[in-house]
């Protein structure tokens, strides 16, 4: 293999060229966007092709001032983006090989090294400096339906010219008919507006089109910020104690309203107003979520709690003169009220406990409600089209992973036509907002997950520092479940482009795939290994329509004997200690029930019917632990963890979990240790999710991980080692920026 030496000039490999003078990566001559840190890593690898570049060397050269934890997250995020740009794979690498816990090696064939001819920015409109990432983000364009460049034609023969003249008249009509089609071809431009480390969410574009407001967790607490589209540093608007979410503008672009969740002991949060230049906020109304200002500037719309019922209300701008528009059931949560451009309707998102969300409209004249979408999946925000003909929304539709799914933007017209997908890719787009020109603003998130093994014998920070990474993935890896005697680990992965079950041998890391679902309409999740090691149960939407129709499937660890064991809507699977009985949750009307069924078949038996779900049974079968979701009286669902003697015995309260500690995208699902002493569960505290354990004797809770100020996601379900000394968890890190997408709407 040719040694490239110091990376300078242009180095080519396969179909790629790297121009180190201009800081560009090109494929077949077309420039590919690559951020600064991934580009630096590629440059370092190309300096010594075929040789190992250690993690420590990368840390010193690319992240010299960061802590180890920041470097660890940053390295895997940068490698994921680099591999994406190169269409490479960690599992089957073409160019970059991972050496576990050591570093990386460039294994591609370096074809040549030449001196790059300087490019002239004045004559090349696509010239972008890769060193200045912010500037690059404002210049990148994505061409939609771009016609191929015309080829230089040969000199036509005279008879061909004559034939063309004869055909010209008949072709003219067809040509004119295609003018509209050609004119419809557009260039979608992408611009990244924020670059904080962490999550920037809930963007709101000002009516004058000059500024975007958003929330950012720069200090570990989410506050309201504003950034001018023309440039400059963002301005922090709120600074008082507590979190501040869901900014919305007044029509004159002079003020912002925002929502602050309830403090301890409060049942409702607060909608406040503040100057767009900052200052002291003043309270407008009590609410259970964010609000919105009408386009004439005279009214507010928001949801409130009144006599244990949810109400969509309209009030004067100062919060006075409330009028109830719609009374709504407390079986759901309600988010993102949005006035239509003509103020005749208020759109909102209805949120289900089972992530079966949809968008509704309420008439501002008579409060009549109308369902707009029938997604039945997790959703995250909405915005009106400028002409009020439709709604742009964020949906997990098409994702094949349940937790956390990839969210994309969709457009639904109010005429009932089929929704149209607007964004694609591995990153998620959420919380859209639109201005009068049809420009789309959204929060774009990139997440990277791996499965980790954490000890539970010390404090949270020490347990995290001693954690061991089990997988090395660039995509989604979720919900681990360890086999008996800790020999293998099963989990859900989207490796190959679709969610499927995989198994890793823990002693050597060798992997194998055991399900081979390819249907893009099928979603899978939450594998759980039976105690006897013979079966793995999981949920799937196979043979169903959406997340409202999950059913339970079994597969053997070698991938054989795939079968549907519970065909009704079911989830939260767990096993009896002998592996002969499968416990699960189903819904009868509005009430949740725990049932069990023999894996050999037969009629299910009802175990609990007191709105119970997510069961865990002790080894001797004497105690059943389960969760009860409580009535929504604060805008979120609180939960009780209870214990009872099966089946149907009197229950006792073990602990109560406030809904504010449970991430929106998952529910409480405790996992019982083998000795029956602890229930492990996932709770939000501070900026992210942590692992907690709850004593089955007295209900006291202990935090088992402490990730500090890092925004960490842990997906849905944990798994205990056979000796109860370790917990396996799918841990993800993420970063979200506010982005602007022009010409995205058809």
**Strand pairing report for 651-657 and 671-672:** unpaired
632 has pLDDT over 90? no
Average pLDDT of the residues in 685-699: 89
pLDDT for the residue 1: 39
- Ordered by start, the domain boundaries in the chain are 10-143, 196-328
Mean pLDDT of the region 407-434: 93
* Six token digits for residue 266: 């409060």
Give me the pLDDT at residue 624, please.
95
Q: What is the DSSP string of 408-438?
A: EEEEEETT-PPPEE---SSSEEEEEEE-TT-
Tell me, what's the pLDDT at 653?
96
The larger pLDDT score, comparing residue 156 to residue 102, is at 102
DSSP 131-157: S-HHHHHTT-EEESSPPPPPPPPPPPP
Q: Among 36-50, 360-374, 715-729, which is the least confidently predicted range?
A: 36-50
pLDDT score, position 161: 36
Percent helix, percent strand, percent coil in the chain, to nearest 5: 10, 40, 45
Q: Please, which residues have CB within 8 angstroms of residue 40's CB and are 6 or more apart in sequence?
A: 61, 62
Q: How far apart are CA 31 and CA 340, in angstroms?
A: 40
Question: pLDDT tier at 383 (50, 70, 90 boundaries)?
Answer: very high
The stretch 200-209 carries a mean pLDDT of 96
Angle at 582 between CA 577 and CA 583, to 5 degrees: 95
Average pLDDT over residues 298-326: 92
Write out pLDDT tens, residues 518-563.
888 888 889 999 999 999 999 998 866 555 568 899 999 999 999 9
HSE-CB of 587 using CA atoms within 13 angstroms: 13
- Yes or no: say if 43 and 3 are a contact pair by the CB < 8 Å rule: no
Say what percent of the chain tops pLDDT 90.
Answer: 52
- Per-residue model confidence (pLDDT) at position 73: 59
Report the range of poorest mean pLDDT among 117-126, 283-292, 326-335.
117-126
pLDDT at 119: 37
Local confidence band at 194 (pLDDT 50, 70, 90 cut-offs): very high
Q: How high is the pLDDT of residue 375?
A: 85
Burial letters 255-273, b for 16+ CB under 10 A, else e: bbbbbbbbeeeeebbbbbb
Closest CA to 442 of 462, 423, 419, 464: 423
Question: How many C-beta atoms surround the C-beta of residue 631 within 10 A?
Answer: 11
Q: Which tokens sit at 729?
A: 């968890």
The mean per-residue pLDDT over the stretch 649-677 comes to: 88
**pLDDT classification of 426: cutoffs 50, 70, 90:** confident
Q: How many residues does the chain have?
A: 746
Domain covering 196-328, topology: Neuraminidase (2.120.10)
CA distance 139 to 491: 40
The span from the CA of 361 to the CA of 7, in Å, is 58
Give the pLDDT band (50/70/90) at residue 37: confident
Most confident listed range (340-349, 684-693, 726-735): 340-349
pLDDT at 195: 85
Q: What is the pLDDT of residue 150?
A: 35
In the structure, what pLDDT confidence band is assigned to residue 36 with cuts at 50, 70 and 90?
confident
pLDDT, residue 640, reads 94
For the cut 50, the answer to whether the pLDDT of residue 123 exceeds it is: no
Count CA atoms closer than 13 A to 207's CA, side-chain side. Answer: 17
**pLDDT at residue number 88:** 86
Q: Are 617 and 647 in contact (CB under 8 A)?
A: no
What's the pLDDT score for residue 379?
Answer: 93
Identify the residue with better confidence: 180 or 686: 686
Q: How confident is the model at residue 654 (pLDDT cuts 50, 70, 90)?
A: very high
Write the pLDDT tens digit of every residue in 469-492: 999 876 788 999 999 999 999 999
DSSP secondary structure code for residue 8 in this structure: -
Scan for tokens 């004159």, then name that residue.
252
| SS (HEC) of 568-606 | CCEEEEEECCCCCEEEEEEEECCEEEEEEEECCCCCCEE
Angle between helix axes 36-47 and 55-62 (nearest 10 degrees) is 130
Q: How far apart are the first and last CA of the chain?
A: 49
- How far is it, in rounded angstroms, from Cα 627 to Cα 625? 7
> 3-state class of 360 per DSSP?
strand
3-class DSSP assignment, residue 439? coil
E strand or H helix at 721: none
DSSP 3-state of 42:
helix
Provide mean pLDDT across the span 692-714.
91
**Looking at domain 10-143, does it have CATH number 1.10.10.10?**
yes
């Amino acid at each position: 293999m040719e040694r490239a030496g110091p990376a300078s000039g242009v180095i080519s490999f396969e179909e790629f060229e790297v121009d180190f003078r201009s800081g560009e990566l090109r494929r077949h001559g077309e420039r590919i966007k690559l951020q600064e840190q991934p580009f630096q890593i590629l440059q370092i690898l190309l300096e010594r092709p075929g040789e190992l570049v250690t993690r420590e060397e990368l840390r010193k050269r690319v992240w010299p001032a960061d802590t180890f934890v920041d470097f660890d997250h940053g390295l895997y995020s940068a490698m994921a983006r680099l591999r994406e740009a190169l269409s490479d794979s960690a599992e089957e690498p073409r160019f970059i090989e991972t050496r576990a816990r050591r570093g990386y090696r460039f294994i591609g064939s370096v074809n040549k090294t030449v001196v790059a001819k300087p490019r002239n920015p004045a004559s090349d409109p696509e010239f972008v400096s890769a060193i200045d990432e912010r500037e690059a983000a404002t210049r990148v364009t994505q061409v939609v339906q771009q016609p191929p460049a015309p080829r230089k034609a040969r000199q036509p023969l005279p008879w061909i010219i004559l034939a063309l003249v004869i055909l010209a008249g008949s072709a003219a009509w067809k040509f004119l008919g295609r003018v509209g089609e050609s004119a419809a071809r557009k260039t979608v431009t992408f611009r990244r507006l924020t670059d904080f480390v962490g999550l920037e969410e809930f963007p709101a574009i000002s009516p004058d089109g000059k500024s975007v407001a958003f929330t950012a967790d720069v200090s570990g607490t989410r506050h309201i910020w504003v950034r001018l589209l023309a440039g400059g540093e963002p301005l922090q608007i709120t600074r008082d104690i507590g979190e501040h979410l869901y900014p919305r503008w007044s029509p004159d672009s002079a003020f912002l309203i925002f929502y602050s969740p309830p403090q301890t002991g409060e049942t409702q949060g607060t909608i406040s107003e503040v100057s767009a230049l900052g200052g002291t906020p003043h309270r407008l109304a009590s609410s259970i979520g964010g609000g919105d200002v009408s386009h004439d500037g005279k009214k507010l719309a928001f949801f409130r709690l009144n006599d244990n019922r949810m109400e969509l209300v309209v009030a004067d701008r100062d919060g006075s003169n409330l009028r109830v528009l719609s009374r709504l059931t407390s079986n759901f949560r309600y988010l993102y009220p949005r006035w239509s451009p003509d103020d005749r309707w208020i759109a909102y998102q209805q949120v289900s406990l089972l992530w079966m969300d949809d968008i509704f409209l309420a008439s501002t004249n008579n409060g009549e409600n109308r369902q707009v979408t029938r997604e039945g999946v997790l959703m995250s925000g909405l915005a009106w089209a400028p002409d009020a003909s439709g709604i742009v929304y964020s949906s997990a539709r098409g994702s094949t992973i349940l937790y956390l799914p990839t969210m994309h933007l969709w457009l639904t017209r109010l005429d009932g036509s089929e929704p149209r997908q607007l964004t694609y890719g591995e990153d998620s787009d959420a919380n859209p907002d639109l201005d009068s020109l049809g420009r789309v603003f959204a929060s774009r998130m990139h997440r990277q997950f791996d499965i980790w093994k954490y000890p539970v014998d010390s404090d949270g920070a020490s347990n995290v520092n001693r954690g061991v990474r089990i997988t090395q993935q660039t995509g989604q890896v979720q919900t681990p479940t360890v086999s008996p005697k800790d020999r293998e680990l099963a989990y859900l992965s989207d490796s190959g482009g679709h969610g499927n079950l995989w198994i890793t041998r823990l002693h050597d890391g060798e992997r194998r795939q055991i399900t081979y679902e390819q249907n893009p309409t099928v979603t899978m999740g939450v594998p759980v290994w039976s105690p006897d090691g013979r079966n793995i149960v999981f949920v799937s939407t196979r043979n169903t329509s959406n997340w409202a129709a999950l059913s339970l499937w079994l597969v053997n660890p070698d991938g054989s004997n795939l079968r549907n064991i519970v065909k009704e809507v079911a989830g939260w699977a767990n096993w009896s200690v002998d592996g002969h009985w499968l416990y699960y949750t189903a819904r009868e009307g509005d009430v949740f029930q725990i049932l069990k069924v023999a894996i050999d078949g037969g009629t299910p038996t009802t175990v609990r019917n007191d709105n119970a779900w997510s069961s865990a049974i002790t080894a001797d079968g004497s105690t059943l632990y389960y969760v009860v979701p409580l009535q929504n009286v604060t805008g979120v669902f609180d939960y009780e963890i209870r214990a009872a003697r099966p089946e149907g015995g009197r229950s006792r309260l073990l602990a109560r979990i406030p809904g504010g500690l449970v991430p929106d995208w998952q529910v409480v699902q405790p996992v019982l240790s083998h000795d029956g002493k602890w229930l492990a569960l996932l709770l939000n505290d501070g900026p992210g999710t942590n692992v907690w354990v709850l004593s089955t004797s007295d209900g006291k809770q202990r935090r088992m991980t402490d990730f500090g100020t890092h925004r960490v996601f842990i997906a849905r379900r944990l798994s205990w080692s056979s000796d109860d000394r370790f917990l396996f968890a799918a841990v993800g890190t993420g970063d979200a920026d506010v982005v602007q997408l022009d010409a995205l709407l058809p």
